[in-house]
Structure 1
Amino acid sequence: MTIAYWCILIAACLPYLWAVIAKRAAPGYNNKDPRGWIARQDNYKVRNAYSAHLNAFEAFPAFAAAVLMAQFTQVDPQRVAWLAMAFVAFRILHGVFYVTVQQALRSLCWLGGFVCVIALMVSAALRVGG
């Protein structure tokens, strides 16, 4: 399960990566009014990096819960590790595609991450029910 736990840590850090990219993508970042500064940006890279930041926060709780559910119900550790690594890869690509304005690929990566979470949760549920 060590790999899956590292994946939880990486996924927990991803929102901050996208926030740093958003803040550095345009001059004049104002930490006194960060949301106001973001709202005034017309630079797609800034706005999309910030959106990737928010979306990474939204995706994290379900992923962490899914990994912990799978661990608690003793799902095959290799399966958990592969799904966790796939989730992290999808989420990194999701952010990259968000920042580079490739919406179709971004959506596919979002779906891939979502499928990983569902697979982890279903695997845990089947262990409990079986």
Structure 2
Amino acid sequence: MTAAEWCVFGTLLLYLLTIAPIKWIGFRRFDNSRPRDPAFYNDPIRARALGAHQNGIEAFPFFAVAVLLAEFRAGPQRLINELALLFLIVRIAYVLTYVGDRPTLRSILWAIGFAINIAIFFLPAIRNYLPM
């Protein structure tokens, strides 16, 4: 497996690990028979963790498709790996700023992550113009 493919897996784990600790910490208030109970997420930190989790679910498909498409279409693997790792780092920072209630920085990180996905997606189209 390539480093980029491991980053896809890491991104999947990240969005799962964003919400799991919140449920575990609040285990006395969390009812697993009603996992989507809005009352559990009334607490601001829980609400932000849920938002970060949901955004992770939303961001994951484009990232995974961009990585796989770039690899299948013979994009420069080293650059795909580097951008995928950068995306994972940005997503970790995004989660921390989301839970930490830093909305402006969070939005900037989201835009950077999206730009990284666009770059990965178009690597096969521009590979002939890249210095190798």
TM exceeding 0.5: yes
- What's the counterpart of residue 30 of structure 2? 29
Matches within 5 A, 1:70-85: 70-85=70-85
Unaligned runs of 5+ in 1: none
The one-letter code matched in structure 2 to 1:28 is R
Q: Distance in 2 between matches of 1:85 and 1:16?
A: 18
Q: Determine if the alignment matches structure 1 residue 122 to structure 2 residue 116.
A: no
In the alignment, is the contact (CA less than 8 A) between 1:7 and 1:88 conserved in 2? yes
Between the two proteins, the alignment pairs up a number of residues equal to 126
Q: Determine if the alignment matches structure 1 residue 90 to structure 2 residue 90.
A: yes
Q: Distance in 2 between matches of 1:97 and 1:70?
A: 29
- What's the counterpart of residue 9 of structure 1? 9
TM-score by length of 1: 0.89
In the alignment, is the contact (CA less than 8 A) between 1:25 and 1:46 conserved in 2? no
Q: Distance in 2 between matches of 1:84 and 1:15?
A: 16
Unaligned runs of 5+ in 2: none
Q: Distance in 2 between matches of 1:126 and 1:95?
A: 31
Q: Distance in 2 between matches of 1:21 and 1:55?
A: 17
Note the C-alpha offset of 1:68: 0.6
Q: Determine if the alignment matches structure 1 residue 64 to structure 2 residue 64.
A: yes
The one-letter code matched in structure 2 to 1:6 is W
In the alignment, is the contact (CA less than 8 A) between 2:76 and 2:124 conserved in 1? no
Q: Distance in 2 between matches of 1:100 and 1:50?
A: 13
Sequence identity of aligned pairs in percent? 34
The one-letter code matched in structure 1 to 2:115 is V
What RMSD, in angstroms, separates the aligned Cα atoms of the two structures?
1.6
TM-score by length of 2: 0.88
Q: Distance in 1 between matches of 2:3 and 2:122?
A: 20
